[in-house]
Structure 1
Amino acid sequence: MAALAKHRDECSRAGILIWAGDMVDRGRVSALEAVVEASRRSCPSARIVAVFGNEEYMDREEEFIRRYPSVVWLNDTYIVVEEDIKLAIYGSRGVLDRPTRWQRRHIPGIEAIYRHRAERAAAALRELRGKADKVILVTHYAPTRLTLEGEDPRIWPELGSTIMERVVLETAPDLAIHGHAHRSKRLEAVLGRTRVINVALPARGDVAVIDL
């Protein structure tokens, strides 16, 4: 909340406010109300676009969508909006090279789910290149290992995906935004022709302001 208030002037002019997942803790749907209210106070004109993180549990996605219809939830889907430019945003939880132990126990077929997400993202990003002036990929999990520096390399496979890294290199979105890497020391990188930004609040200690 304080980070948003700190950027009130920039936020008041923002056309889009992007949430890259983990807006609440442990699937607490009701807790998002305070985040929505704070966002509306600081960024009254901004369209809120969000992807789910691992803290917005998969079995509660529909509840989040029903309770917060003012949020544009992107779940392996995209929107095209007109700001000063035509902007396409594709959003997804993202992909992990190695599902976590909890995921392997509780989400049947999680490896296949991740493969399908990567394939779907690649197809959509190729399509969107012809529909917009700028294309943004938003995922919760990191789409490259470049912005995982500072995290323990032993858990990099549970923070991001080399498969998605290949997708980014092949489809070249203009910008890739992610969260999840809370201890990252490298918050921005360039992967091929794509600028990658880790917007995880614990890593940055602030919100990220991006001017396209």
Structure 2
Amino acid sequence: MGNALTTICATSDIHSPQYLELFKKALANSTCKPDLFILAGDIVEHNNIAEYRRVLELINSVHPGIPVAAVFGNEEYVGSEKEYVVRYPNVIFLHDNYRVIDTLTGRIVAVGSRGALDKPTQWQAKNMPGLIKYFRDLPDKISSLISQAASTNLPIILVTHYGVTYRNLTGENPAIHPYLASRRMENVIVNHRNVLKAVIHGHAHNGLVESIDIDSVKVYNVALPARGRIIKVEV
């Protein structure tokens, strides 16, 4: 059991109801048999909290009883996190913290966050004045969380919504790379390469690169509009 691979099925950016039919087809065509399902943010459009249920019902119809872990995206609005947690108690929501998760093949640790950006959007900068400092401080916080999680001696994955490097953003306009990812998060991965088993993120809808290696750590962009399918991650 201790040496068993844990199979994770991962996706993000369903923006339900916008890409719900694509998600339904992706689930139907997927060969991924998960021990854990991960939703890497922007599961609904414009904070439509009720739509989250439709996504979860689809997952449960194909993979009944499989644990689901999730981070929030920019479309799950800041300040609404508690409402998602209350409405969907069966989801393991990760919000700048880590959780030990019991999967079908054993226990792993998921560190999760919306993530950071090198630049907030103009709307974010105007309406969320504390966000610039939050983005600046977050990589250090995530690094600390990974260090704490390492004390469990369990496999660790990092899940964010925003990207963690520019190196897998081919297909996106370079002018918007700072609004898609944080380059400082790449340093977090490098510094914890000995304990991180995988990194999963979304947000880059046009990213042509499914996965890259950062110092032997596999980093996946699982955004549904980019991939068109469910991504299989084994740790």
| Residues 164 and 181 in structure 2, CA contact (< 8 A), matched pair in contact too | yes
| Mapping of residues 123-142 of structure 1, within 5 Å | 123-142=144-163
Distance in 2 (alpha carbons) for counterparts of 1:174 and 1:209: 14
TM-score by length of structure 2 reads: 0.85
Pair 1:174 & 2:174 matched = no
Distance in 2 (alpha carbons) for counterparts of 1:70 and 1:132: 25
Distance in 2 (alpha carbons) for counterparts of 1:51 and 1:78: 11
Poorly superposed stretches of 4+, deviation over 4 Å: none
Residue 85 of structure 1: CA displacement? 4.1
Structure 2 alignment gaps of length 5 or more: 1-23
Partner of residue 59, structure 1: 79
| Mapping of residues 10-29 of structure 1, within 5 Å | 10-11=32-33, 14-29=34-49
| Residues 165 and 185 in structure 2, CA contact (< 8 A), matched pair in contact too | yes
Distance in 2 (alpha carbons) for counterparts of 1:41 and 1:146: 36
Residue aligned with 1:24, SS: coil
Listed one character per residue, the Cα deviations across residues 86-105 of structure 1 (whole Å, up to 9, x for unaligned) are 31100000000011111101
Amino acid at match of 2:202: G
Amino acid at match of 2:41: G
| Residues 145 and 160 in structure 1, CA contact (< 8 A), matched pair in contact too | yes
- Bigger CA drift: 47-56 or 185-194? 185-194
Of Structure 1 and Structure 2, the greater helix share is in 1
Pair 1:149 & 2:170 matched = yes
Counterpart among 47, 55, 67 of residue 35 in structure 1: 55
Distance in 2 (alpha carbons) for counterparts of 1:48 and 1:192: 28
Distance in 1 (alpha carbons) for counterparts of 2:72 and 2:150: 24
Listed one character per residue, the Cα deviations across residues 139-184 of structure 1 (whole Å, up to 9, x for unaligned) are 0001111111110111000000011111111112110000000001
| Residues 80 and 132 in structure 1, CA contact (< 8 A), matched pair in contact too | no
Counterpart among 36, 46, 51 of residue 66 in structure 2: 46
Q: CA RMSD in A?
A: 1.3
Distance in 2 (alpha carbons) for counterparts of 1:187 and 1:108: 33
Distance in 2 (alpha carbons) for counterparts of 1:211 and 1:167: 21
Structure 1 alignment gaps of length 5 or more: none
Distance in 2 (alpha carbons) for counterparts of 1:171 and 1:111: 24
Residue 130 of structure 1: CA displacement? 3.2
Distance in 2 (alpha carbons) for counterparts of 1:211 and 1:195: 10
Q: How many pairs does the alignment contain?
A: 209
Of Structure 1 and Structure 2, the greater strand share is in 2
Partner of residue 18, structure 2: none
Distance in 2 (alpha carbons) for counterparts of 1:37 and 1:82: 21
Residue aligned with 2:98, SS: strand
Residue 200 of structure 1: CA displacement? 0.2
| Mapping of residues 71-150 of structure 1, within 5 Å | 71-83=91-103, 84-150=105-171
Distance in 1 (alpha carbons) for counterparts of 2:214 and 2:123: 30
Residue 42 of structure 1: CA displacement? 1.0
